[in-house]
Amino acid sequence: MFATTRDGTRIAYALHGDVNAPKKIALIHSLAMDRAFWAPVAERLAGEAAILVIDCRGHGLSDKPQGPYTVDLFADDLADVMDAIGWTQATIGGCSMGGCVSLAFAIRHPDRVKSLGLFDTTACYNDLAAWQDRADKGVSGGLAVLIPFQKTRWFSDSFNADHKDVVQACVDVFIANAPHAYHASCLMLGHADLRSRLADIDKPTRIAVGEEDYATPPAMAEEMHRGIRGSTLMVIPAARHLSPVEAPEVIAGLLRDVM
């Protein structure tokens, strides 16, 4: 299904579970993934809530306009999809890029947030040069050149070895991205800095990060935890950067706590 945003961009989305359930969750995927990213979590919660998953602008089946992109723009896209399906409020959850967008959503649309789940993410990546380098490599060399780098960041060594089908599915989604949209999304994250607004968030918040996550390491999660009053923090043993895929039962449980 598709919803059209305020600037005319079409956003692809899907609904899981009982669409009339009183509990509602909206989930935002990681950079260069798509809404299928959340399938392991959605299948665990589908009997308890209505679950909205979207393809962010520039990703999946959504439109891929030229940049620049911003986390505020992505947050407004989610608000427009929620409008289209008649949702006034939901638990908002995101991983990596999706977590940063979830923070922006909570800041821009606080009345629409029942609670937050922030996974393997940060309020500020604080390394624009590194993001610029990744963005440029994705365009000049093609996204496939980044796969060895991505696989070691995404998942622990044991998960990479024992779940080759899951890893390959993520690789397939990654290399299918439009290079110009990947470039714009990388620069969006390089510029994002929401640290000064963390104190404005007063919703029940669950923060989790993989113990071995070196893309958004535990220190970044701790900074969010200190900034968002009433939040909780879990470090997931042995996991890396995509914990909703590597440890979906843990992430589903954290969302269940606050939905």
Indicate whether 136 belongs to any domain: no
Expressed as residue numbers, the domain containing 42 is 2-126+192-258
Residue 12: strand pairing partners: 2
Contact 195, 124 (CB under 8 A): yes
- Residue 222's CB is within 10 A of a number of other CB atoms, namely 14
Indicate whether 141 belongs to any domain: no
Q: Determine what percent of the chain is predicted with pLDDT higher than 70.
A: 100
Counting the structural domains of the chain, the total is 1
Sort strands 2-4 and 50-54 into parallel, antiparallel or unpaired: unpaired
Indicate whether 143 belongs to any domain: no
**pLDDT reported for residue 135:** 96
36: domain CATH number is 3.40.50.1820
Q: What is the mean pLDDT of residues 207-216?
A: 97
Indicate whether 178 belongs to any domain: no
Q: What is the mean pLDDT of residues 5-32?
A: 97
Indicate whether 144 belongs to any domain: no
**pLDDT reported for residue 229:** 95
Q: Is the peptide bond before 68 cis (omega within 30 degrees of 0)?
A: yes
Place of tokens 């996991």: 239
Indicate whether 67 belongs to any domain: yes
Indicate whether 181 belongs to any domain: no
186-202 pLDDT, tens digit each: 999 999 999 999 999 99
Predicted confidence band of residue 53 (pLDDT cuts 50, 70, 90):
very high
Indicate whether 149 belongs to any domain: no
Predicted confidence band of residue 161 (pLDDT cuts 50, 70, 90):
very high
**pLDDT reported for residue 159:** 97
**pLDDT reported for residue 130:** 95
pTM of the model: 0.97
